[in-house]
Copies of this chain bind each other. A is one copy, B any other.
Amino acid sequence: MNISSAVQALSALAQEQRLNIFRALVQAGSEGINAGRMSEMIGSSPSALSFHLKSMLEAKLISYEQKGRFVIYQANFAVMNQLLAYLSENCCQGTSCDAEQFNICRT
């Protein structure tokens, strides 16, 4: 993780609709959620949703797979964990604090 990909990931989370999307995907886990259903859940127009999903994809915070006519999105836990590690890197002047050990989700 470097500064610009960290900023990109944080920017992708720093918006109400996108944060709602991300949290819904975190909660859905490996099952994921398709775009249309998210549109309903989040209450945004398909085009706005698509715009937001794109920025989260570019930040690698989420991934997708095509399933028939549906596009199913999933949270990318690995990238999220890299981001968190970056944020706490060399925490507190190297004092004993287990900053490197957290995970957003183990699955």
Contacts and interface: CB of A to CB of B under 8 A. Distances in A.
Q: Chain A contact residues: over half helix, strand or loop, or mixed?
A: helix
Copies of the protein in its oligomer:
2
B88 A26 contact: yes
Size class of A's contact patch?
Answer: 35 or more
Given A84-B102, A87-B104, A7 B29 contact: no
Given A4-B16, A14-B11, A30 B92 contact: yes
Interface of A: 3-4, 6-7, 10-11, 13-16, 19-20, 22-23, 26-31, 80, 84, 86-93, 95, 97-99, 101-107
What 5 pairs across the A-B complex have the smallest Cβ distances? A102-B102, A29-B92, A10-B14, A97-B106, A11-B14
